[in-house]
Amino acid sequence: MKRHFTFALLLLVLTISGQAQQKQVPALFQDEKPLALSLKFSFKEVKKEKVDSVYFPTYFGYTNDTGKYDSIAIKVRARGNFRRNNCFYPPIRVKLKKKDGEGTPFEDNKDFKLVLPCQTGKLGSDLILKEYLCYKILEPITPYFFHTRLVDLELTDLSGKPKTYSVKSFLIEDDDLIAHRFNGKVVEQDIHPLTLSDTTSVLFDFFQYLIANTDWSAAQQHNVKIIQTANKKIPLTYDFDMAGLVNAPYATVNETLTISSVQERLYRGFCRSEPLMQYARKEYLRLEPAIMKVISDNKSLFNEKDYKGIEKFVSEFFETLKNDKKFKEAVLLGCRTK
């Protein structure tokens, strides 16, 4: 009887804890339904401004709970050097005042990213949906991930004669929200990757290998944010447009690496103890059904050819993990020592 009571009490505590954490996720990122928005700004003016502290005032247009058109004042700036310089659409960081967000879909959000396609046309939207899928694949693997929300966006360029584009895009929650959720803070300091939480770090490294992404660095905090909690440093990963799963036509591989295509997998994690690497291997194999379910749940976002290609690409990752020889060569012997 006592054992049953103890178990029930533990279950209650875990349930309450999980609900408390979920409540800290803004409603904007709890809803899976794509959000319909409109946005207007000068592409030329925003891309030209290089100072990160300079934002441009504009509005998000949306349909409110009563079914009527509404709008909210926001400020935007471009982010990301590569996309800013090479893409038609600049990636955007959005800021808004807390009081302006009250009673709107953006309540409890003061800062977030809007990820736009690089180029116009259907290919641009297809690629942005593949990048969105990368974020979703990470969710069953670790609690340390960025929440996202798909957006059907009517985007108007005010650089000259106004021109409007219908694009697929998605929102990414601010890293400070994630840090707060885990009682930590985002830190920007030089670190060695081996000082990161070991288990979390290895799961993170395996994920990058899964999507065939080499465009990241924990040490330089390139496409990686670091959360410092009371007793550990946790990596957060983002920006997957250079990953092999996305396979963007503009994606390139760093010339110092031993691969020639972004669709070639290269394990870029640092070597850890073999028991830990084997634990991560078993954990991913355990999670294979959940990961493949994420892909199947998002099947409607892709045409049949792209969907089959994604399935095959991810299945090849698991084939490596299931084969002792391939796993040893690719990961145990391929991990970084410096």
Domain boundary among 120, 139, 173: 173
**Residue 86 pLDDT class (50, 70, 90 cuts):** confident
Query: Has residue 250 been placed in a domain?
Result: yes
Query: Has residue 16 been placed in a domain?
Result: no
Mean per-residue pLDDT, 16-41: 78
Query: Has residue 26 been placed in a domain?
Result: no
Same domain, 318 and 214: yes
For residues 15, 17, 20, 21, the Cα torsion angle rounded to the nearest 10 degrees is: -110
Q: What is the pLDDT of residue 15?
A: 41
Same domain, 82 and 190: no
Query: Has residue 119 been placed in a domain?
Result: yes
Same domain, 328 and 190: yes
Q: What is the pLDDT of residue 189?
A: 84
Same domain, 130 and 253: no
Domain boundary among 143, 173, 203: 173
Same domain, 195 and 287: yes
Query: Has residue 22 been placed in a domain?
Result: no
Continuous H helices in the chain: 2-23, 43-48, 81-86, 98-101, 121-138, 175-181, 198-210, 274-297, 304-322, 324-327
Query: Has residue 10 been placed in a domain?
Result: no
Q: What is the per-residue pLDDT across 240-273, written as a single tens digit (0 to 9) for each?
A: 999 999 999 999 999 999 999 999 999 999 999 9
Query: Has residue 4 been placed in a domain?
Result: no
* Listed residue (235, 331, 244) closest to 281, CA to CA: 331
The boundaries of the domain holding residue 100 are: 33-173
Same domain, 167 and 227: no
Same domain, 208 and 121: no
Q: What are phi and psi of 13, to 5 degrees?
A: -60, -45
Residues 6+ apart with CB under 8 A from 5: none
Mean pLDDT of the chain: 91
The CA-based angle 316-319-324, given to 5 degrees, is 140
Q: What is the pLDDT of residue 81?
A: 77
Residue 4 confidence (pLDDT) above 70: no
Query: Has residue 206 been placed in a domain?
Result: yes
* Listed residue (141, 140, 168, 143) closest to 154, CA to CA: 168
Q: How many CB atoms lie within 10 A of CB 330?
A: 18
Same domain, 42 and 119: yes
Residue 24 confidence (pLDDT) above 90: no
Same domain, 284 and 303: yes
Q: What is the pLDDT of residue 18?
A: 43
Domain boundary among 173, 205, 228: 173
Same domain, 123 and 165: yes
**Residue 84 pLDDT class (50, 70, 90 cuts):** confident
**Residue 212 pLDDT class (50, 70, 90 cuts):** very high
Mean per-residue pLDDT, 180-208: 94
Same domain, 187 and 159: no
Same domain, 326 and 242: yes
Percent of the chain scoring above 70 in pLDDT: 93
**Residue 3 pLDDT class (50, 70, 90 cuts):** very low
Continuous H helices in 38-157: 43-48, 81-86, 98-101, 121-138
Domain count, the chain: 2
CA dist 217 → 90, 150, 186, 237, 331 (Å) = 23, 26, 16, 9, 17
Q: What is the per-residue pLDDT across 120-154, written as a single tens digit (0 to 9) for each?
A: 989 999 999 999 999 999 999 999 999 999 999 99
Q: What is the pLDDT of residue 20?
A: 40
**Residue 39 pLDDT class (50, 70, 90 cuts):** very high
